[in-house]
């Protein structure tokens, strides 16, 4: 049975991935800061052929990352897929944004990925198989006005993914950087755009499962996916 860990699984791309993986018969473990959202997600995903594990965790805190990782270790003997999806976006320019924005976004967008990977990826390396997907952003490859610390954190995440790929490629563990453009997620709530102007979360999750299903000798190192009409 395939075991998949997805952080931030109650909304957006994470939620779509949970739905898609369960439909494919994969076991899924996910976390969120909101227990009620996790309870509703578990009810929604309930499936006779897949195990659904949920745990409340604030990934800006090292002790809660460690607790979530321990929960995974206690529940499963191995992890096949790790999707580092949890993230936060606070708009603002470097010179004018609120003090603390950089620290908040680095904590979730980079440090949580670093620490959770250190807890779980050794399981993959020991087995000589596994696939890590880090959800980056077009902000990882180009700066834009009002991107500020968000772009800094996502550039750093892409750099982390490249380093991890080099370290793991001889150990049978794949690393893919997912670089989506504007996608209908929680971050866009209240935006006055036609729905077809942005990608759907399912568009991104389908590309991820497709990359996972490649043979063992091939890896998609980066997935850059944008709305047909371009980013906003």
The per-residue pLDDT for range 6-23, each reduced to its tens digit, is 999 999 999 999 999 999
Please check whether residue 232 lies inside any domain of the structure: no
Residue 128 has pLDDT above 90, yes or no: yes
pLDDT at 189: 64
Residue 231 has pLDDT above 90, yes or no: no
Catalytic residues: 150
Please check whether residue 170 lies inside any domain of the structure: yes
Mean pLDDT, residues 56-80: 98
Quick one: pLDDT band at residue 73, thresholds 50, 70, 90?
Answer: very high
pLDDT at 187: 63
CB 29 within 8 A of CB 81: no
**What is the domain extent for residue 24?**
3-225
Please check whether residue 230 lies inside any domain of the structure: no
Please check whether residue 63 lies inside any domain of the structure: yes
> Domain of 118: which CATH number?
3.40.50.720
pLDDT at 186: 66
pLDDT at 184: 76
Please indicate whether residue 190 or residue 143 has the higher confidence score (pLDDT).
Answer: 143
Please check whether residue 161 lies inside any domain of the structure: yes
Please check whether residue 231 lies inside any domain of the structure: no
- pLDDT > 90 fraction of the chain, expressed in percent and rounded: 88
The per-residue pLDDT for range 19-50, each reduced to its tens digit, is 999 999 999 999 999 999 999 999 999 888 89
Tally of structural domains, the chain: 1
Please indicate whether residue 115 or residue 143 has the higher confidence score (pLDDT).
Answer: 115
Residue 150 has pLDDT above 80, yes or no: yes
Residue 98 has pLDDT above 80, yes or no: yes
The per-residue pLDDT for range 156-211, each reduced to its tens digit, is 999 999 999 999 999 999 999 999 998 877 666 666 777 778 899 999 999 999 99
């Amino acid at each position: 049975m395939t075991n998949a860990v997805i952080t931030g699984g109650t909304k957006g791309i994470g939620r779509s991935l949970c739905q898609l993986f369960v439909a494919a018969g994969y076991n899924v473990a996910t976390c969120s800061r909101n227990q009620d959202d996790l309870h509703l997600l578990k009810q929604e995903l309930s499936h006779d052929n897949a195990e659904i594990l949920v745990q409340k965790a604030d990934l800006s805190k090292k002790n809660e990352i460690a607790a979530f990782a321990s929960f995974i270790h206690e529940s499963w003997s191995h992890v096949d897929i790790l999707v580092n999806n949890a993230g936060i976006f606070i708009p603002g320019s470097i010179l004018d944004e609120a003090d603390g924005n950089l620290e908040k976004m680095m904590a979730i967008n980079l440090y949580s990925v670093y620490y959770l990977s250190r807890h779980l990826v050794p399981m993959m390396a020991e087995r000589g198989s596994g696939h890590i997907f880090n959800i980056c952003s077009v902000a990882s490859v180009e700066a834009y006005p009002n991107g500020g610390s968000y772009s800094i954190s996502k550039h750093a995440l892409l750099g982390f993914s490249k380093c991890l790929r080099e370290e793991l490629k001889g150990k049978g563990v794949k690393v893919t950087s997912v670089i989506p453009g504007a996608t209908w997620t929680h971050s866009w709530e209240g935006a006055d755009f036609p729905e077809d102007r942005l990608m759907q979360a399912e568009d991104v999750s389908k590309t991820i499962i497709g990359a996972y299903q490649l043979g063992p000798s091939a890896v998609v190192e980066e997935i850059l996916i944008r709305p047909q009409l371009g980013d906003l």
